[in-house]
Structure 1
Amino acid sequence: MKKLFLGLAIVSTSLAFAQQTIEKEPVSFGIKAGGNASSFSEQKLGFNNLKAGYYAGVYANIPLSTEFSIQPEVIYNELGSRNVVSSRDVVTDAVTANFRSEYRATLRYISVPVMVQFKPARNFYVEAGPEFSYFLSGKNTGEAKITTTVGNNTVTQVESTSSSIDKDDINKLNFGLGLGLGYNFTPHLGINARYVNSLTHIYNSRLQNETNSSPNNRVFQLGLNYKF
């Protein structure tokens, strides 16, 4: 009986201590923003295939203990892909032709990541969790440039294209998994790096059949967060 009461006392003390710890770390809110480097899963990873974009939004951090917390976010997220092709053709000793094309696909989403964060150190944390996104709009842009050199004369021809992406061709809902880490410089300012890989195809089933292509989104994110 004494052991039972001792065990209950230890459990009660532990629960009281945990409750006090959580009360000392209330739910906090903040804003975050940064840059994206995104591509499609069918592309090889490389600088020429990474499209620059950005994200910005708000978050809430909900402590579960001194080590664990849950952080839901709502962010505007600009994803997509980039493809650069260049070549040089020597026609004769006096005539050369340089070709370069760059095409970009921009996909805009509202994303809701829900990250579980673990803090092995006071200011450092690692995180993982799902991300749910809703497609808003998109566009395709491109530029092809041909530079021809004949002797001392150079002629450059540039052709640009731009078109909106048909919303009916894109899956409205996108689901992915994220993995990241972060460091808080001060109680208010921190830095965060995250990789998110989509598990949902970008195109709907009809366009996948027409193009024989079924890419997913993938993105590297780096930015700052400010806690109020």
Structure 2
Amino acid sequence: MVRLAFLFLVILGALAALVSLFVGMGLYQAAKLQDASVAASAPVTTLPSSQPSATAQSIEQRPIVQAAPASLPVRPIADPAARQAAVAVPPDRPVVLSVKDAVLIGDDLRLDPVALKTVIDWTNRRDGVEWTAQVPASGLYDVEITYSCDRTDGGGVFTIRAGPGGLSASVRPTGSWDDYQSQYAGKLYLPQGPTQLFMRPVYMLPGGRLMNLRAVTLKFVKQIDEPEFRPPFSRRRGF
């Protein structure tokens, strides 16, 4: 009987300890909530701009240094003149002016009706061929023509004008009208950008044809700012 009473007292003590523990935890949570509400309702003190705090002064006095990442090197930007010089590089390929892209001026000359790649029936001194060439860089160019000419009823002298100057050259026979060759005609200064080239006869054999023309090719020689080569022309020859 005594043991049962002692056990009952131990159980009552444990229950009392648990109750006191739960009550204490509830009081602690209530106190935290009360402190948070008081801090939210408290007025905020703002310092005037003329009187910054000591912490702000120490922050303002520290220099701000921004370092570029080591993996991203900083590259200087080239000036416009350097960029323009980089763009205006000498062309590595010739400019080929096909007669298919030309404007035929005159009543007699025409494109061959089959392949449409050759100017034929060039029998009139007033007829000419004109192109608008996209010149990649200002400079001096070698001019070549791709053509055919028969010795018996072909040949003469032609001129090509472009930009500030021009050239004149003789048409040498190639053997027959079916034998096409390339002939060096001379040098021309050409400005960069769209440039008009006009080709026409100066002298022709009576009753003959100047040539059968397929193309004019421009080959870059050197880059210059001002024309260094302007061949003379004779006004008596009709240039």
Give your verdict on TM over 0.5: no
TM-score, structure 2 length as denominator? 0.27
Give the strand-richer structure, 1 or 2.
Answer: 1
Give the helix-richer structure, 1 or 2.
Answer: 2
**Higher RCO (CA 8 Å, separation ≥ 6 residues):** 2
